[in-house]
Chain A
Amino acid sequence: MINKDLVIVGGGSAGLAAAISAYDSGVKDILLIEKNSELGGILNQCIHNGFGLQKFKEELTGPEYASRYIKEFKERKIESFLETLVLGINDKLEVRIINSKVGVETIKAKAIIMAMGCNERTRGQISIPGDRPRGVFTAGLAQKYLNIDGYLVGKNVYILGSGDIGLIMARRMTLEGANVIGVSELMPYSNGLTRNIVQCLNDFNIPLKLHNTVTKIIGKDKLEAIEISDVDDNLRPIKGTEQIIKCDALLLSVGLYPFNSLLVNAKAKSYSKTKGAFVDQNLETSIKGVFSCGNVLHVHDLVDFVSLEGEIAGKNAAKLILNGRKSVKNIINVIEGENVNYVLPNVINVTDGLDKVEFSFRVKMPIKRGEIRILDGTNIIKKIRANDLLPSEMKRISLTNFDFNNVKQIKVEVRVN
Chain B
Amino acid sequence: MEKEFVCIVCPNGCRIKVDDSGKISGYTCIRGLNYVKQELVDPRRGLTSTFKVVHGRNLVCPCRSNVSVPKDKMIDIIKEIDKLNVEAPIQIHQVVIKNVLNLGVDIIATKEIEKDE
Residues in chain A within 8 A of chain B (CB atoms): 38, 44, 47-50, 53, 59, 61-64, 67, 146-150, 175-176, 193-195, 197-199, 203, 301-302, 388, 393
A195 to B9: give the CA distance in the assembly, Å: 8
Interface size on B, residues (CB 8 A): 31
Could you tell me if A147 and B62 are in contact, using CB atoms closer than 8 angstroms?
A: yes
Residues of B within 8 A of A49 (CB): 46, 48, 64
Q: Is the CB of B8 within 8 A of A195?
A: yes
- Chain B residues, Cβ within 8 Å of A149: 59-60
5 nearest interchain CB pairs?
A194-B13, A47-B62, A63-B111, A195-B8, A150-B60
* Cβ contacts under 8 Å, A194 to chain B: 6, 13
Partner pick for A67 among B6, B10, B112, CB 8 A cutoff: B112
A61 engages B64 (CB within 8 Å): yes
Interface residues of B in 75-115 (CB under 8 A from A): 75, 78, 82, 92, 110-112
Question: Residues of B contacting A198 with CB < 8 Å?
Answer: 6, 8, 13
If over half of A's interface residues share one DSSP class (helix, strand or loop), that class is named, otherwise mixed; here it is mixed
Tell whether B74 is near chain A: CB-to-CB under 8 Å: yes
Q: Is there a chain A Cβ closer than 8 Å to B45's Cβ?
A: yes
Task: Identify which of A47, A301, A393 contacts B50 (C-beta below 8 A).
Answer: A47
Which of A47, A59, A199 is most buried by chain B, counting CB atoms within 10 A of its CB?
Answer: A47
Does the CB pair A147–B11 fall under 8 Å? Answer: no
Contact of A53 among B10, B46, B111 (CB under 8 A): B10
Question: CA separation between A44 and B59, bound complex, in Å?
Answer: 13
B7 close to chain A: CB less than 8 A: yes
Q: Enumerate chain B residues within 8 angstroms of A62, measured Cβ to Cβ.
A: 62
Would you call B49 and A59 a contact (CB within 8 A)? no
> Could you say which residues of chain A place their CB within 8 Å of the CB of B15?
388
Contact partner of A302 (CB less than 8 A), chosen from B6, B11, B45, B82, is B11
**A148 contacts B58, CB within 8 Å?**
yes
Does B3 lie at the interface of the complex (its beta carbon under 8 Å from any beta carbon of A)? Answer: no
Known: A47-B48, A175-B49. A53 touches B11 (CB 8 A): yes
Whether A61 lies near B110 (C-beta < 8 A) is: yes
Contact A199 B78 (CB under 8 A): no
- B60 near A193: Cβ-Cβ < 8 Å: no
- Is B55 an interface residue, CB under 8 A from the partner? no
B110–A64 touching, CB < 8 Å: yes
Instruction: Name the residue of chain B whose CB is nearest to the CB of A45.
Output: B62
Contacts of B7 in A (CB 8 A): 195
- Flag if B11 contacts A393 (CB, 8 Å): yes
Is B71 interfacial (CB 8 A cutoff)? yes
Do A195 and B74 touch across chains, with their CB atoms under 8 A apart?
no
Contacts of A44 in B (CB 8 A): 111
A110 CB to nearest B CB, Å: 33
B75 near A175: Cβ-Cβ < 8 Å: yes
Contact B46 A193 (CB under 8 A): no
Q: Is the CB of A176 within 8 A of B78?
A: yes
Establish whether residues B46 and A59, one from each chain, have CB atoms under 8 Å apart when the complex forms: yes
Determine which of B13, B48, B75, B112 lies in contact with A195 in the assembled complex, contact meaning CB atoms within 8 Å: B13
- CB of A360 to closest CB in B, whole Å: 15
Chain A CB within 8 A of B17 CB: no
Q: Is there contact, CB below 8 Å, between A61 and B62? A: yes
A149 to B6, CA, bound (A): 33
Q: Is the CB of B60 within 8 A of A199?
A: no
- Bits for B59-71, please: 1 = Cβ < 8 Å to A, else 0: 1101110000001
Chain B residues, CB < 8 A from A175: 47, 49, 74-75, 78
Known: A147-B50, A195-B9. 14 other contacts (CB 8 A): A47-B48, A49-B46, A50-B10, A67-B111, A147-B60, A150-B50, A175-B47, A175-B49, A175-B75, A176-B78, A194-B13, A195-B7, A199-B45, A301-B11
Residues B1-22 near A (CB distance < 8 A):
6-11, 13, 15
Q: How far is the CA of A50 from the CA of B63 in the complex (A)?
A: 14
Q: CA separation between A38 and B7, bound complex, in Å?
A: 34
Q: Name the distance in Å between A245's Cβ and chain B's nearest Cβ.
A: 23
